[in-house]
Amino acid sequence: METVNIALATDRNYLPHACTAIASLLVHRHNSKTPDIGLNLYLLHRDLNEADFEKILALESICAFRLIPVAIPASAFADWRIYRSNWTEAAYYRLILPSLLPDVSRIIYLDCDLLLLTDVLELWRIPLDSCRIGAVAVKVTPDHKVRLGLEADDPYLNSGVMVFDLGAMRASGDEARFREIYETSMDKLKYPDQDILNIAYRGGYKLLPLKWNLTTSVYRNPVNEALYSEAETLEAIRHPGIAHFTGVHKPWRIGKTTHHPYSSYYWEYMKLTPFADEFRWRALVKKCFNGRVKRPKHRTPWSRKDINWTIPVVPR
């Protein structure tokens, strides 16, 4: 039987948001035309316990899946000579997936600050065309590319949604390369794990359709023709796959105006998790505060008619 492998990394503080992301994933698996496809969920963590796992397993009421907790050993980063203290360790877990999951050949890595808006099976079945990873490209400043040693026309990937060919990565010794970049280029890295991946796979990764990582900037900025054409961008907006709440303006942060148009969906999926009651007051306060006090600093260049605003059927 075909099985989709998904990996997420979280700590206890981010567990409510991880559960919300998982709930959105399961809703669309439940509503799919291929519900018989298996689903393995690899949960990368350092501090979670059985009570935390039970909260995630409660989501089986939406759709069946296999939860595989993967405890990160204390020695995982022992060989990394330098450590960046202002980024959580969980951000680096994706860089050790080849050795962390030695029996897994292919996996989708997802950040926790996102929502699935369609069935992940479509992403799973995208061929990598002999590349070791697949990702969506995003806009960054030219200065940042220069700092990393990239050319102006090199696409810069966002590491929040990635497809990994772990078998090919192991064969190519990619983990050792990641560590080498980390130790020799620390002063150049602004987004450590993401910058490392961009240096390691410069010009050598599968460019995924934009729909699979709709970051906030897609809705705030004009089309970047160097990455995706206007037609491709509009197609992604009309038929989204993943909404990624990049930056500090997360849906759950009170006092932050969330510019992503799918931020309201976050609360719909949060209602399906064991954290619904705990976060309900936050949704009300945020709605009141942002609606009456805070005003968005940016106006979307896209008309609302360009966006599919229909919330999918959510099983109760």
Q: Residue 180's pLDDT band (boundaries 50, 70, 90)? A: very high
Q: Residue 3's pLDDT band (boundaries 50, 70, 90)? A: very high
Q: What does the alpha-carbon distance between residue 24 and residue 14 come to, in Å, rounded to a whole number?
A: 16
In a domain, 316, yes or no: no
Which residues lie closer than 8 Å to 311 by C-beta, 6 or more apart?
Answer: 265, 268
Which residues lie closer than 8 Å to 129 by C-beta, 6 or more apart?
Answer: 206
- Please count the structural domains in the chain: 1
Please write the tens of the pLDDT for every residue from 64-86.
999 999 999 988 887 777 666 66
In a domain, 270, yes or no: yes
How many residues are recorded in the chain? 316
In a domain, 137, yes or no: yes
Q: At 198, which CATH number?
A: 3.90.550.10
In a domain, 168, yes or no: yes
Q: What does the alpha-carbon distance between residue 54 and residue 37 come to, in Å, rounded to a whole number?
A: 23
A 10 A CB-CB count for 242 gives 27
Range of the domain at 126: 3-306
In a domain, 53, yes or no: yes
pLDDT of residue 307: 52
Say what the alpha-carbon torsion angle 245, 247, 248, 252 is, to the nearest 10 degrees.
0
Per-residue burial over 63-77, b if 16 or more Cβ lie within 10 Å, else e, is bebebeeeebeeebb
In a domain, 302, yes or no: yes
Cβ atoms of 209 and 203 within 8 Å: the answer is no
Which residues lie closer than 8 Å to 261 by C-beta, 6 or more apart?
Answer: 219, 300, 307, 309
In a domain, 55, yes or no: yes
In a domain, 90, yes or no: yes
Please write the tens of the pLDDT for every residue from 230-286.
899 988 988 899 999 998 878 888 766 666 788 888 988 999 999 998 877 777 777
User: What is the percent of the chain where pLDDT is above 70?
Assistant: 87
User: How many Å is the maximal CA-CA distance in the chain?
Assistant: 55
Please write the tens of the pLDDT for every residue from 95-141.
999 999 999 999 999 999 999 999 999 999 999 999 999 999 998 98
Please write the tens of the pLDDT for every residue from 191-212.
989 999 999 999 799 999 999 9
